Structure 1
Amino acid sequence: MKELFRELTLASGAGGDEGDVRRIVRRELGEVVDELRADRMGNLFATLRGAGQDAPVLMLTAHMDEIGLMVAGIESFGGVRFEKLGWIDDRMLISRLVTISTRQGKVTGLIGIPAASKTTAEEKTKPTPYKKLYVDVGSFSKAETEAMGVRIGNLITFRGDFVELANNITVSKSVDDRAGLYMLIETMKRLKGMKHQATVVAACLAQHEIGLRGAIPAAYSVHPDVSIHIDVTGHFNDDPSAGALMGGGPVLRLMEDYGTHVGFGAQKGVIAHRDVVDLLIQCAEEKGMRYQPQIKPDVIGDEVVIHTSREGVLAGYILIPARYIHSQHECLKWDDVEQVISLATAFSVAVTREFVDRAIDLDRVA
């Protein structure tokens, strides 16, 4: 099982160039689901049809892309300047190995920094702004770099190692959100041999890190009654506001709100639907599973654009605690992975037409 997770995390897939990741998902689910299709955005949809009449549609989502960079220019000495794709802390860029995806293939590079002898005492105490950094691909001229296939607009991803630590902790790059993608794949495999009333659509989303873009056409196209996004969230020691502990079980986000986050306008937060949360809790308790409620007022996820699609969607989250999110080496506890798969599977079986109708019943008093 971890071999698939390793393959997913080590694949290159910055926003807008998720093809390597998409091919892995197609290989894993092509013979499992009833229908497999893609859209113009690069989203991939894997569908298991429901057994019931007037089957409700449950959309389970995870995003394929990772944080990355884009080639913005090539200097005369051969260095490659870049822009960020997603939120990336300048502190983590220095001396990192990267992969540039070109039409001629993959090019390995190293993010260089100005020589210490050329920096002031004040500059030495602060992170080097990314605008002053460049990717060294081993060339000595612009022409040599271009001969490797490097062009403005090429996407760049970070290289990482897949490592096992003590206490069943797994470390790799792009755990955000290849962990969610892995759990989504395994959930669909388990559902294949089970009876479920709902039609379950695994929506593998593109371009999350650069603005939740894939989720918008995905929600419109699938037109779900219920949606659950599977992703990572911060571990308490690393992100105290997350209020979640690795090994503490699935995290059920009840509310999120990113305030005046630029680019999202009024669509800046989600309150998980109470019936979705109640059903998630019921499924967890029936399995004797620990879970962690979460209120996160400083972040948003894909449900922020999904839950307002069309006439509205019953939305919720199943998250997994992780450390060092948006760095080249993120980590999670494998026990949590297994529990999220189990909970997502149980919830998928529990969603019925009666559940959806009750959730939108105007005459309901409780």
Structure 2
Amino acid sequence: MDLLRELTETNAAPGFEKPIRKIMERELKQTGANLVYDHLGSVFGEKQGSGDGPKILLAGHMDEVAFMVSEITKNGYLRFVSLGGWWDQVLLSQRVKVLAGQKEYTGVVGSKPPHILQPEERKKVYPMREMFIDVGAKDEEQVREWGIKVGDPIMPICPFELLPDGDTILAKALDNRVGCYIALEVMKEIKGTTHSSTVYSGATVQEEVGLRGAATAPYVMEPELAVAMDVGIAQDGPGDNTNKPKLGKGALITFLDSSMVPHTGLRNFMIDVAEKNQIPYQVDVMLGGGTDAGRFHLFKRGVPSIVVGVPARYIHSHVSMVSKKDLDHAVKLLAAFIKAMDRQAYNQILDI
């Protein structure tokens, strides 16, 4: 888990992905892959196949939900805006880290205390626009002396921890360092194995602010198949959640989200691979979000695409949880998928 710990504890807001990209480059080089990039910062390792199989794109995304300094007040507080989707209710009193060049400053998300709120205000979710970040500065001049500027990224704080069951991982940024981790582990899994297809495995930038790297990266590789590796929503909290995604019950295959209906031929092939190899999997149907596959499948004449990942709890907050077993199953599923894919299988998927 050292690699996943490093990935989650490294900060990378949308548009500020360089620290994660360095880790991806280091790990991909160790697999012997050739590195390819787009001009926004997405990075992939290329592994040539031994046959004429299709070009397969496997992509996580490097960015995580974060914030940006939008204003420095006269009395030394920071106003901020979101980078990615946040629910206002999860923010108050959380610790954050302001990244000011080579320096980092810890702050806390603050607001008016409840003692002076009007009764009607207490019943509402406090809006983000009225929150601020307190870094302990005395005034605006001190903030500027410290080097904090408008435009600096602000990151959640949550150390990586493997919980006592030995399986549940608690960390920030599992959306989507999980995808980065799977991309790297699949490349290690197929190293030294025979596969017909050329594989591009890595991660895009700026997914959380509009699937932007997913719009540019395919032009580098011209993929014929695409898999976005991302987290889905675990629905295993209190209450009746029969047949809903749960931690520890297998990899997650998305059948529907707000950005894409997965290619049914590819979906059925992936399920067949899972069942033939006895790899546990779960099905996700969710209209509340999308992934990079929402852009991949629209590239040029269309790219059959699907989302494979793991269920996660509490994403788009300071902390989230996933299962180590689910990660292992997702890696095994995608490695088996690559080994099973060739030109004949691809043509059958397309129904040619």
Match of 1:298 in 2: 288
Structure 1 distance, partners of 2:243, 2:44, is 30
Match of 2:94 in 1: 96
* Residue 55 (structure 2) aligned to one of 54, 57, 75: 57
> Helix, strand or coil for the counterpart of 2:141?
helix
Match of 1:82 in 2: 80
User: Are the counterparts in 2 of residues 255 and 295 from structure 1 also a CA contact under 8 Å?
Assistant: yes
* Residue 339 (structure 1) aligned to one of 325, 329, 333: 329
5+ unaligned residues in a row in structure 1: which ranges?
258-268
**Identity across the alignment (%):** 30
**CA offsets per residue over residues 236-268 of structure 1, 9 Å max, x none?**
1359699211111111112223xxxxxxxxxxx
> Helix, strand or coil for the counterpart of 1:51?
coil
Alignment of 1:42-53 (within 5 A): 42-52=41-51
Q: Tell me, yes or no, if structure 1 residue 356 matches structure 2 residue 338.
A: no
Match of 1:224 in 2: 223
* Residue 133 (structure 2) aligned to one of 105, 121, 135: 135
The number of residue pairs the alignment matches comes to: 349
Per-residue deviation at 1:289?
A: 1.9
The amino acid of 1:245's aligned partner reads K
Per-residue deviation at 1:34?
A: 2.9
User: Are the counterparts in 1 of residues 89 and 125 from structure 2 also a CA contact under 8 Å?
Assistant: yes
Match of 2:174 in 1: 175
Structure 2 distance, partners of 1:212, 1:196, is 29
5+ unaligned residues in a row in structure 2: which ranges?
none
**CA offsets per residue over residues 283-333 of structure 1, 9 Å max, x none?**
211221222223223322111111010111011111201111111110011
User: Are the counterparts in 2 of residues 252 and 291 from structure 1 also a CA contact under 8 Å?
Assistant: yes
Match of 2:252 in 1: 251
Structure 2 distance, partners of 1:141, 1:188, is 50
Structure 2 distance, partners of 1:148, 1:238, is 43
The amino acid of 1:272's aligned partner reads P
Q: Tell me, yes or no, if structure 1 residue 320 matches structure 2 residue 310.
A: yes
Q: Considering only aligned residues, what root-mean-square deviation do their CA atoms show, in Å? A: 1.7
> Helix, strand or coil for the counterpart of 2:260?
strand
Match of 2:7 in 1: 8
Structure 2 distance, partners of 1:41, 1:313, is 21
Structure 2 distance, partners of 1:218, 1:253, is 22
Structure 1 distance, partners of 2:344, 2:28, is 29
> Helix, strand or coil for the counterpart of 1:40?
coil
> Helix, strand or coil for the counterpart of 1:176?
helix
Match of 1:125 in 2: 123
The amino acid of 1:298's aligned partner reads G
TM-score (ref. length: structure 2)? 0.95
TM-score (ref. length: structure 1)? 0.91
**CA offsets per residue over residues 163-215 of structure 1, 9 Å max, x none?**
22243211000111111211111111111121111110013110010111110
User: Are the counterparts in 1 of residues 279 and 332 from structure 2 also a CA contact under 8 Å?
Assistant: no
| Inter-CA distance 253–157: structure 2 relative to 1 (3 Å threshold) | same
